[in-house]
Chain A
Amino acid sequence: KAGVTQTPRYLIKTRGQQVTLSCSPISGHRSVSWYQQTPGQGLQFLFEYFSETQRNKGNFPGRFSGRQFSNSRSEMNVSTLELGDSALYLCASSEGQGTGELFFGEGSRLTVL
C-alpha cells in the first residue's frame, strides 16, 4: 500500500506570493490533517478534513486555507506569504474514526524569502 504523498517536496517563494501544497492520502483513508512544523513551535495543527468537509481548525490566520476533493486528496493554500511561514508542512491521513493512527507524509519544505 502506497504511503502518504506530498508535493512539492521543496519550494522557495517570496513574501506576498501564495503557495499551494498537495497531499494524497493512503488509499481508503478519508481523513487528512495538516500540520506546520518549525524549530521553535514544534508541530502545530492547521486543519483536518473528512469526506470533503473541514472538521477541525487550528489557531492560524485566514491566510491558511485548505480543501479536500472527492477522492480524499487534499490541498492547502497560504496566501500573502510572510517570512514566518517558512516551515515544513506535514500532511497526515487516517481512517478518520476518532483516535486512530496518523500516517504522515515526508512533508513540503517551504522557504519564504
Chain B
Amino acid sequence: GENVEQHPSTLSVQEGDSAVIKCTYSDSASNYFPWYKQELGKGPQLIIDIRSNVGEKKDQRIAVTLNKTAKHFSLHITETQPEDSAVYFCAAHDNAGNMLTFGGGTRLMVKP
C-alpha cells in the first residue's frame, strides 16, 4: 500500500517568515494530495489539495507543489501569522484501497 513520509515533525518560524513542509509518497499511481490543518482540540480541516495533472496550486498565502517524477509534494506558507500555528498533515490517495494515507504530521509554531 501507500506510504507517506512527512518532514519536519516540528517547525518553528518567526511571524512573517515562510514555512515549508515536505512529503514523499511511494505509490506512483496516487493522484490526489490534500493538506489538512488540525488546531488544538479540533479535527483536521482541508486547507488545499492538488491533483496529479497539476504541478502547483496557490490560494492566497498557501501554495502546494507536486513533483510526480520524484514522488514528492510540498506545502508553502508565506507571511506566516500566529493563527497558522497548528499541526499540518499531508496525505495521498491510495488508488488500490480508495483511501487517504496520511503523513506523520508537522507541528508548526509561529512566534510573534
Residues of chain A touching chain B, judged by Cβ–Cβ distance below 8 Å, are 4, 33, 35, 42-43, 45, 48, 55-56, 58, 90, 92, 98-99, 101-107
Contacts and interface: CB of A to CB of B under 8 A. Distances in A.
Interface residues of B, number: 23
B43 A90 contact: yes
B105 A42 contact: yes
Contacts of B98: 48, 55-56, 98
Interface of B: 31-32, 34, 36, 41-46, 49, 51, 89, 93, 97-105
Looking at chain A's contact residues, the main secondary structure is strand
Given A42-B89, A42-B103, A56-B99, A99 B42 contact: no
Contacts of B32: 99
Contact of A43 (B42, B89, B93): B89
25 contacts: A33-B99, A33-B100, A42-B103, A42-B104, A43-B44, A43-B89, A45-B99, A45-B100, A48-B98, A48-B99, A55-B98, A58-B99, A90-B44, A92-B43, A99-B32, A101-B46, A101-B49, A102-B44, A102-B46, A104-B36, A104-B43, A104-B44, A106-B41, A106-B43, A107-B43
